[in-house]
Amino acid sequence: MSCPICSHKLEKTEHFNKIFKAYNYYCSNCNSYHITEEINTSDYYANEYHKKFSYNNFLSTLLNRLSLVSNRTSGRFNFLYQYGNINTNENFLEIGGTFGEFYNIAEKKIKPNSYTIVEPDKEFNREWKNLRFENNLFENIDIKSLGDIDIVQMFHVFEHIFDLDAFLERLKLIKPITFYFEVPNCENDVVKIDSLINNPHYHHFSKKSLEMLFKRLKYELKIIETIEPHSYHPYKKIGFFKRYLRRFTNNHEKFDNSGIYLRAIYNI
């Protein structure tokens, strides 16, 4: 079996994914891990995924109703604003955007011309100006129906996609200017083990593997960084109330090669 990123030979590991019920394979050339067969996860996402990861929890409901944003989302917006050359009246497409927390801050800061969220779960739908929902998988959407798109973004979605090449080639058909995403960093040992075993992730990326993948498909790198959030950290136990209060504090994140997340901006 070959690595889907660099075609190097894969090595079977001892890491067994509980959701896919399959072993992960490792590529020593680009330092990445992969599930090698696609599995039907429609029932899992419909019945378990959002419940397990608490996207319908109290805080999410409050943010939705009040159109507020957490500090985690503010950090994401500031990164895009600094390095993505965004302006007012941009057309956004967010894949896997749930109820649209990023839209809340974009609407306040730059007034998007349009904002489309691709989110299969209809429970997240809401009505707001310039905001619309596509309740489908990105792979099944008619590209022409999306209209003009300047920025495509997705946070912790890319690792769930089995066919990376097909997805990125399909993204080119939209002809956006900017692609912005965030994924777990498998060079962090805690993240790696949790991602390999406890999450429905087909792929587990290092900085090197992302750079090799996007270079091969002729995406132009703007910036790629590794971050360690302060206000939200899933692997540090700090107490329920303190954890949620920190999401609204300053000093959101630091840049660290051993950080838990990788985020990048590419031009297409």
Please write the tens of the pLDDT for every residue from 108-121.
Answer: 899 999 999 998 88
- CATH number of the domain enclosing 152: 3.40.50.150
Q: What is the mean pLDDT of the chain?
A: 87
**Could you give the angle at the alpha carbon of 204 between the alpha carbons of 201 and 209, nearest 5°?**
145
Number of domains in the chain: 1
Give the ranges where 48-182 is alpha helix by DSSP (H).
50-52, 58-66, 71-83, 101-109, 164-174
For residue 76, pLDDT over 80 is answered with yes
Instruction: Provide the pLDDT for residue 56.
Output: 47
User: Does residue 119 form part of some domain?
Assistant: yes
Q: Strands 253-255 and 220-229: what pairing?
A: antiparallel
**Which H/E stretch holds residue 15?**
strand 11-17
Which of 18-32, 145-159, 176-190, 250-264 comes out lowest in average pLDDT? 250-264
Q: Which domain holds residue 256?
A: 53-267
Task: Give the percent of the chain with pLDDT over 90.
Answer: 60
In a domain, 23, yes or no: no
Alpha-helical runs (H) found in 110-203: 164-174, 189-198
Q: With respect to residue 12, please indicate whether it lies within any of the assigned structural domains.
A: no
**Six-digit token string for 257:** 């090669």
Q: Is the full-model pTM beyond 0.85?
A: yes
Dihedral (CA of 175, 32, 2, 22) sign: negative
Give CA–CA dist 71/76, Å, rounded.
9
Band of the pLDDT at 240, cuts 50, 70, 90? low
pLDDT surpassing 90 at residue 41? no
| 172: in domain | yes
Residue matched to tokens 């009040």: 66
Q: Is residue 15 part of a domain?
A: no
Picking from 180, 211, 176, 183, the residue whose alpha carbon sits closest to that of residue 78 is 180
pLDDT of residue 3 exceeding 50: yes
